[in-house]
Structure 1
Amino acid sequence: MCTSAMDTVDKLVTPGEKKLFKRPFLKSTLVLDMNKTIVVSDVEENSTVVGSLPFCHPGVPHRQPEGFWLHGTWHSLSCKVRQFSPQDVTKCLTNRTVHVRGDSTSRQWVERLVKWNVVQKGPGNGLIGPYNSSNPSRGIVVTFNFHTLPIQTSSWFPFEFHNFRDAGISTEVRSMAGGPNVALVLSLCSHFTAEPKHVYSARMHELKSAIQQLHRKYPETKVIVKTCNTRSHRHYREVVQMSDWLADQLNQEMRSILGDLNVAILDVWDMTVSQWYPHSLYPHQRVQDNELNILMSYMCPEMVKNGEQ
């Protein structure tokens, strides 16, 4: 966060309010009443419910909760999700092109695919793109590019890095070549929390129009939109600008604007709210892997049908 932004946030918080972000008001140890009984149901008791879930597809209803953790695995209550090994992911993505557009939480997915040797990273700016990762022998291409402004970062980026030749994702989506072997993965959240809500709403409406135009030309193109995840808040400035409450408001706005489209909304909110790892803008590797399980279940539902777990 640059100095001018820090000064602006400081002016929004009174000295009395700043005290609320320190002990004993924040991060205090809770004393629990251990006389309460906690009943944990066996997963087998819920097998009928889980077995009756639909395969992951656009328009899957939003469930509350979206799922639960058990032995390090996220079990979705919205649609059928299986665990994908790196070999499974390679099979799923064979002869596919996946365009990832958004923030660094989606860039992490691309980096996991590189780590698993599903694809090899190509040249380009490793933080904001654009760059392509590919596996020529399997016909896999995965591209990444940042969503342009707004950007929240602790360091300065040269203005020229924010390439405005295409005026952002919406223009690119409108001119994108789609098809049954093409997927568009979108993730716009964390950099928008400090902006007025109408800024995010306007961007979502732009994307809605672009996606509709893409689907008119290429109706079989898969479009998957990732929700916000929780993050750590080390300082009151981060709470003011980036709180989970603000992020959840964006999730609701995203659903209200894009929810009626032929898109899959990949919900990671409950997954990160209930994770046992420390909260971070970048969820733990194990959480990322479970997020990718959901993504691949949307990408290749036929593999879920043929190899459910």
Structure 2
Amino acid sequence: MDHVTVLPAENGQAKVKSIYNAAGYYFHDTWRPLNGAVIQKFNDSSAITHCLKGKIVYMLGDSTVRQWFEYLTALVPNLKQLNLYSPKNTGPFMAVDSGNNILVRYRCHGPPIRFTSVLSSELHYVANELDGIQGGPNTVVLVSVWSHFSTFPIEVYIRRLRHIRRAVVRLLDREPATLVVIRTANLQKLNSENSLFNSDWFSLQRDVVLRAMFRGLRVQLLDAWEMTLAHHLPHDIHPPRAIIRNMMDMILCRICPVGKI
């Protein structure tokens, strides 16, 4: 069908309870969360700069959080990436806007890592990195750890998340105003090669564990699973730019709620 007409509910109409608890939907290619959160578009680099002014943003994890770093440095011209002679996939990377006092850093999580060889000196665990962050109202921490654990027993992932959870608790105890955003797993394209050792079923199991591990903490959950499931674009372990843009809009709205920028 080319068109769908949505009519308002009639008085007395029976309500149907869905067993599927969707996190949101896309309308005009913009993510609309069902929790009532107001989402603002940050299409203008000046709006992003204004939101991030005076902020330190730490991105810790795999290549799906590295996409956020690449998105910001590509869209915001004043956010200059420093050449640290780092490997392309693993980093560490750093971008600075000295005029607006913005610092954005990315570092890959510790082993297991599947995509490339990494110097042992650069294998920093997320929990250790979190313990080195002072935190505060001008600090944003974005974490994504899931993909590289899908080929290992679930106990390995649970053990890693327990250490990260404890480090997050310590960070929030030091500085409760720190914004911590945890990214969930997402669906991916399964071709004839990687379908031999990976699947969305493995990713889903880790997604369930991650949600349970951080439930009850003062952290924000970014539902990448739902945001990739609901979009019309094909699944990809690295979601297309349209989905990344919506993810970044969600994060920026949490850094700068509507009416405060």
Q: TM-score, normalised by structure 1?
A: 0.74
- Cα distance in 2 for partners of 1:162, 1:82 equals 40
Counterpart of 1:295 (choices 236, 251, 256) is 251
Query: What does residue 138 of structure 1 align with?
Result: 100
Query: What does residue 6 of structure 2 align with?
Result: 41
After superposition, give the CA deviation of every residue in 1:55-99 in whole Å (9 maximum; x if it has no partner): xxxxxxxx9211111221111112222211222211110000000
> Which amino acid letter does the alignment assign opposite residue 42 of structure 2?
F
Number of equivalences: 245
> Which amino acid letter does the alignment assign opposite residue 47 of structure 2?
D
Query: What does residue 14 of structure 2 align with?
Result: none
- By how many angstroms is 1:239 displaced? 2.6
Where in structure 2 are the equivalents of 1:86-97 lying within 5 Å? Answer: 86-97=45-56
- Cα distance in 1 for partners of 2:90, 2:149 equals 16
Query: What does residue 216 of structure 1 align with?
Result: 173
- By how many angstroms is 1:274 displaced? 2.1
Stretches of structure 2 lacking an aligned partner (at least 5 in a row): 10-19
**Do 1:148 and 1:162's aligned partners in 2 also have CA atoms closer than 8 Å?**
no
- By how many angstroms is 1:277 displaced? 1.4
* Residue 206 (str. 1) matches residue 163 (str. 2): yes
Where in structure 2 are the equivalents of 1:140-289 lying within 5 Å? Answer: 140-153=102-115, 156-158=116-118, 160-161=119-120, 163-164=122-123, 167-235=124-192, 237-289=193-245
Q: Secondary structure at the match of 1:134?
A: strand
After superposition, give the CA deviation of every residue in 1:220-266 in whole Å (9 maximum; x if it has no partner): 1111101111110011x523432111111111101111111110011
Find the structure with the greater CA-based Rg. 1
- By how many angstroms is 1:305 displaced? 3.3
Q: Give the share of equivalent positions with the same residue, in percent.
A: 27
Q: TM-score, normalised by structure 2?
A: 0.87
**Do 1:190 and 1:242's aligned partners in 2 also have CA atoms closer than 8 Å?**
no
Q: Secondary structure at the match of 2:106?
A: strand
Where in structure 2 are the equivalents of 1:53-68 lying within 5 Å? Answer: 64-68=21-25
**Do 1:193 and 1:250's aligned partners in 2 also have CA atoms closer than 8 Å?**
yes
After superposition, give the CA deviation of every residue in 1:146-199 in whole Å (9 maximum; x if it has no partner): 00211122xx414x25624xx511012112111110011000011111111011
Show structure 1 runs of 4+ deviating over 4 A.
none
Q: Aligned-residue CA RMSD in angstroms?
A: 2.1
